[in-house]
């Protein structure tokens, strides 16, 4: 029996176009959700189709007891979809204690025949090595910042001309985009740089 291809090859078989994924990461209370929401609105206003994925540390049952979809999940279906004229919702039971890697979700979305997405933006997933990170920084530069998979920072210590302000460490890789904490600038960088890579 032939062995299955490695996971990276399997992911490439799912779709013929890559879907760039970018995770907004920062400690709670920094403004990730606010920046992400405004960035999504700016990208959508520019005509991009944006998918959003939120990391959660809790099990959420967004379905309603007694509805047909709830009944199918209760019967054991691993995947249930609700398709309507204005909205489609999927419920997928992973059977794992951890969320799937963002790269696998991005590959699935890229292959989705019902919708074409230009970018996948995520909130959280700071420990997921499969997704690039945009670190949101508010206030003084943090004493520790995770450099793995870091492609951009959005900091209120930078002005609109990307001039470094007050103490950004020189150890920050030159390839890391330095952005002001401004949704319009972050959206422009995503549109003009990130999704063109």
**Could you read off the pLDDT of 150-163 as tens digits, one per residue?**
999 999 887 755 44
Q: What is the DSSP letter of 27?
A: -
Task: Please state the rounded mean pLDDT for residues 168-190.
Answer: 87
What does the pLDDT look like over 64-121, one tens digit per residue?
A: 788 887 788 788 887 777 777 887 777 777 666 666 788 888 888 888 877 889 999 9
- pLDDT at residue 10 greater than cutoff 90: no
Q: Which helix (H) or strand (E) holds 24?
A: strand 20-25
Calculate the dihedral angle through the C-alpha atoms of 110, 115, 120, 125, rounding to the nearest 10 degrees: -80
123 half-sphere exposure, CB direction, 13 A CA radius: 18
Q: What is the DSSP letter of 151?
A: E
Domain residue ranges of the chain, discontinuous segments joined by + = 7-56+99-196, 59-97
pLDDT-derived band at 6 (thresholds 50, 70, 90) equals very low
pLDDT-derived band at 184 (thresholds 50, 70, 90) equals very high
What does the pLDDT look like over 18-59, one tens digit per residue?
A: 789 999 999 999 999 999 999 999 999 999 999 998 887 655
Q: Which residues of 51-85 are buried (b: 16+ CB within 10 A; e: fewer)?
A: bebeeeeeeeeebeeeeebbebbeeeeeebeeeee
Class of CATH domain 7-56+99-196: alpha beta
Residues 6+ apart with CB under 8 A from 156: 137, 138, 139, 180, 181
Q: How far apart are CA 134 and CA 176, in angstroms?
A: 9
Distances 65 to 3, 61, 87, 149 between C-alpha atoms, Å? 42, 9, 20, 40
Cβ-in-10-Å burial (0-12, 13-18, 19+) of 196 comes to exposed
Residue 17 tokens, joined: 């176009």
pLDDT of 165 reads 45
């Amino acid at each position: 029996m032939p062995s299955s291809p490695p996971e990276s090859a399997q992911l490439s078989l799912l779709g013929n176009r890559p879907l760039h994924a970018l995770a907004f990461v920062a400690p709670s209370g920094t403004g990730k959700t606010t920046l992400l929401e405004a960035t999504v609105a700016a990208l959508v206003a520019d005509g991009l189709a944006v998918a959003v994925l939120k990391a959660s540390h809790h099990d959420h049952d967004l379905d309603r007891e007694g509805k047909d979809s709830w009944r199918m999940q209760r019967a054991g279906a691993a995947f249930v979809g609700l398709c309507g004229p204005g909205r489609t919702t999927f419920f997928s039971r992973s059977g794992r204690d951890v969320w799937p890697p963002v790269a696998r979700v991005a590959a699935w979305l890229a292959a989705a025949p019902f919708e074409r997405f230009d970018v996948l933006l995520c909130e959280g997933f700071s420990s997921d090595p499969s997704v690039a990170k945009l670190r949101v920084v508010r206030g003084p530069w943090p004493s520790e910042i995770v450099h793995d998979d870091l492609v951009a920072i959005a900091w209120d210590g930078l002005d609109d001309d990307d001039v470094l302000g007050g103490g950004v460490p020189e150890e920050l890789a030159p390839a890391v985009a330095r952005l002001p904490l401004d949704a319009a600038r972050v959206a422009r960088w995503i549109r003009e740089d990130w999704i063109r890579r």
